[in-house]
Amino acid sequence: MLQTRVIPVLLLKDGGLYKGVKFKNHKYVGDPINTVKIFNDKEVDELVLLDIEASRYNKPIDFNLLQEIATEAFMPLAYGGGVRSLEDAKRLFSIGFEKVILNTNAINNMELVRQLVSIFGSQSVIVSIDIKRGFLGQYRVYKKSASFKTKLNPIDFAKKMEDLGVGEIILNSIDNDGVMGGYDLDIIQRVTKVLSIPVIACGGAGDLEDVKEAKEKGASAVGAGSMFVYHGVHKAVLISYPKYEKLCELFEEN
Amino acid sequence: MITIIDYGMGNLGSVANMIKKVGGKSLITSNIEEIKKAKKILLPGVGSFDNAMENLEKLELIDILKDKVLNQKTPIMGICLGMQLLTRGSDEGNLEGFGFVDAFTHKFKFEDNNLKVPHMGWNRVKLEKKSKLFEGMGEQENRFYFVHSFAVGCQEKEDVLTTTSYGYSFVSSFEKENIIGVQFHPEKSHKFGMRLFKNFVERY
């Protein structure tokens, strides 16, 4: 039986790992290579790495760092942040990543999404959608690391990405990010209902019960940041990941 | 030395990383002379069936691979699409596969609409026969990472090495003489994949 994937989502900035709250106030949590080594030892299901400044400040992709990370990681790896061309994607695949994540560039350049899918296959293309709820309860898609609001509705946009052949959607709630109070279950349910491709729920996980709820609302996989890098009420940095047996028990999968 | 066939289909870096990790040596190449000298061959692959066969054709690698595998009995391991290419053909394309194993690659079809395609994530494999490839690995806890929309069915039961359940039971690896195919990605499957690669490096 296929198991629900539980995926640490790590944020890169200037060669370090950071974690913020609601996409702001990012605090340094450690060295990415060491952290990936720890996650490797803990046998995590998969890892997502996002460069939070690459798109926003138009920075190049740090291929050297990513290559070092890939040689330490024997699990599926996905990278997002400033992926602008087929060449970028090709280089990421050649150093050992198997999935590229588009966010800003999926909104700005759908032709790139289409080409990536046709050349590298659906399974290697993820679109990450950052969403925020407005005053009247309507959701909007944001880009450039949540610094720019678009007119796009997340459900329509996700469906459009599926139609383009994208293999997975990361649905990331800006409001819930780093708060550790649970996922935005309402939007997870609404998006997963209309899609047939897997959705990775992201933003808000505080404990394993939150993770379980997201799965029950239709998420095929769950991503979390704070939960795996912080410990306790004072948010001391401590890398952790639940044991395999514990996850089997949680999801009642065996 | 393991010769990794480079035919423009997917993630060779991670396979090379893993071989290095378990103490093996590898060479990534599409050069016919190098492949002639190969002692062990790895055929990775991500992408579409016809595209892969076309690339192999363009690089003039089909005949040399057939000669190595069928006449010289060089061990070969196909991974993911690489496994599927070792079968007679696939629902995905119109071109012929190598046909080293009497098997065909079919599209996943389910009664249960809740099952998503591709089959993506970690799943268990059930050992159907004894093999050097799985030596030292406990029966219960073998988990591997999968990403695929097509799955292999074998004609000969004795070729089946492991099966995996997703909607129904499919062939997640086969082994026939010097020919191995694995549907999962051992290079992305932690200690399970390490063990498998170590066995391929040391025991074949």
Is residue B54 scored above 90 in pLDDT?
yes
Cβ–Cβ < 8 Å for A143, A135: no
Reply yes or no on whether the pLDDT at B29 is more than 90: yes
pLDDT of residue B43: 97
- Is B185 a residue of the active site? yes
Least Cα separation, residue B48 to chain A (angstroms): 8
Q: Would an 8 Å CB–CB cutoff place B121 in contact with chain A?
A: yes
Tokens at residue B33, please? 């002379």
Residues of chain B with pLDDT > 70, as a percent, come to 99
pLDDT over threshold 80, residue A84: yes
- Contact list in A for residue B12 (CB cut-off 8 A) is 94
Q: Which of A158 and A135 is assigned the larger pLDDT? A: A158
Q: Which residues of B touch A244 (CB under 8 A)?
A: 143
Range scoring the smallest mean pLDDT among A70-74, B31-35, B137-141: B137-141
Q: What totals of helices (H) and strands (E) does chain A contain, helices first?
A: 10, 14
Contact B65, B125 (CB under 8 A): no
Give B79-133 pLDDT, tens digit per residue: 999 999 999 999 999 999 999 999 999 999 888 767 888 899 999 999 999 999 9
Q: Mean pLDDT across the stretch A181-193?
A: 97
- B155 vs A: CB within 8 A: no
Cα distance from B106 to chain A (closest Cα, Å)?
A: 17
CA angle A74, B190, B188 (to 5 degrees): 50
Mean pLDDT, all residues of chain A: 95
Distance from CA of B114 to the nearest CA of A (A): 8
Quickly list H helices, chain A: 32-41, 63-72, 86-95, 104-108, 110-120, 154-164, 185-194, 208-216, 226-229, 244-251
Confidence at B49, pLDDT banded by 50, 70, 90: very high
> Distance (Å, rounded) from C-alpha B156 to C-alpha B153?
9
Q: Residues of A43-69 as b/e, b for ≥16 C-beta within 10 angstroms? A: bbbbbbbbbbbbbbeeeebbeebbbeb
Answer yes or no: is pLDDT of A140 > 80.
Answer: yes
Phi, psi for A240 (deg, rounded to 5): -145, 165
Q: Which residues of B touch A45 (CB under 8 A)?
A: 121-122
The pLDDT, as a whole number, for residue B2 is 97
Cβ contacts of B189 on chain A, cutoff 8 Å: 74-75
Helix (H) or strand (E) holding B79: strand B76-79
CB contact under 8 A, A75 and B185: no
B190: left (phi over 0), alpha (psi -120 to 50) or beta: left
A211, HSE (Cβ side, Cα atoms, 13 Å): 25
B188 shares contact with chain A (CB less than 8 Å): yes
Residues sharing a CB contact under 8 Å with residue B47, sequence separation 6 or more, in sequence order = A120, A121, B9, B10, B81
Please give the ipTM for the structure prediction: 0.90
Q: What is the mean pLDDT of residues A132-157?
A: 95
B139 has a pLDDT exceeding 70: no
Least confident of A70-74, A108-112, B45-49: B45-49
State yes or no: pLDDT of A28 exceeds 90: yes
Please check the confidence at residue B140 and state whether its pLDDT lies above 70: no
Task: Tell me the per-residue pLDDT of A3-24, one tens digit each, with 9 for 90 and over.
Answer: 899 999 999 999 999 999 999 9
Least-confidence region, from B7-11, B64-68, B158-162: B7-11
Which of A2, A43, A98 lies at the smallest CB-CB distance from B11? A98
pLDDT at B46: 84
CB atoms within 10 A of CB B114: 8
CA distance A44 to A36: 10
pLDDT single digits (tens) A191-222: 999 999 999 999 999 999 999 999 999 999 99
Which pLDDT score is estimated for B156? Answer: 97
Q: Which residues of A are catalytic?
A: 130
Mean per-residue pLDDT for A16-39? 96
Reported as a single tens digit per residue, the pLDDT across B71-84 is 999 999 999 999 99
Tell me which residue in B18, B48, B119 faces A74 most closely, judged by beta carbons.
B18
* B10 contacts chain A (CB < 8 A): yes
B81 DSSP assignment: H
Cβ pairs bridging A and B (under 8 Å):
90
Q: What is the mean pLDDT of residues B45-61?
A: 93
Nearest CB partner across the interface for B118, out of A1, A46, A123: A123
Would you state the pLDDT for residue A80?
Answer: 98
- Whether A57 and A92 have beta carbons less than 8 Å apart is answered as no
Does B141 score more than 80 pLDDT? no
Which residues of chain A neighbour B124 with C-beta distances below 8 Å? 1
B147 in contact with chain A, both atoms CB, cutoff 8 A = yes
Chain B CB within 8 Å of residue A74 CB: yes
pLDDT number for residue B114: 75
- Asked whether residue A254 carries a pLDDT value surpassing 70, the answer given is no
Per the CB < 8 Å rule, is A120 touching B46? yes
When scoring B84, B141, B190, B197 by the number of chain A Cβ atoms within 10 A, the one with the most, hence best to mutate, is B190
Instruction: Verify whether the Cβ–Cβ distance A124 to B46 is below 8 Å.
Output: yes
How many of the other CB atoms lie within 10 Å of CB of A31?
A: 12
Q: Is A254 exposed, middle or buried (0-12, 13-18, 19+ CB in 10 A)?
A: exposed
Q: Which of residues 172-231 of A touch B (CB under 8 A)?
A: 196-198, 220-221
Whether the CB of A33 is below 8 Å from some CB of chain B: the reply is: no
Distance CA B77, CA B161 (A): 13
pLDDT of residue B111: 81
